[in-house]
Amino acid sequence: MGREEFRLLLILLFPDLFNPENFTFNIIETLIYTIDLFLRR
């Protein structure tokens, strides 16, 4: 699963987290980045 697929999956599962007014988006971006690094090992 690539980074974009994971991002799309998160958007589908947790649309409220991707509200531009929600600061949680930054946490999700960090999580995606961390998982992306993990998957590249």
| Domain total in the chain | 1
DSSP string, 8-39: HHHHHH-GGGG-TT-THHHHHHHHHHHHHHHH
pLDDT score of 1: 64
Domain of 14 in residue numbering reads as 3-39
pLDDT score of 13: 78
Q: Per-residue pLDDT tens for 1-41?
A: 688 888 888 777 777 766 666 666 677 888 888 888 888 87
Total-model pTM: 0.38
pLDDT score of 20: 66
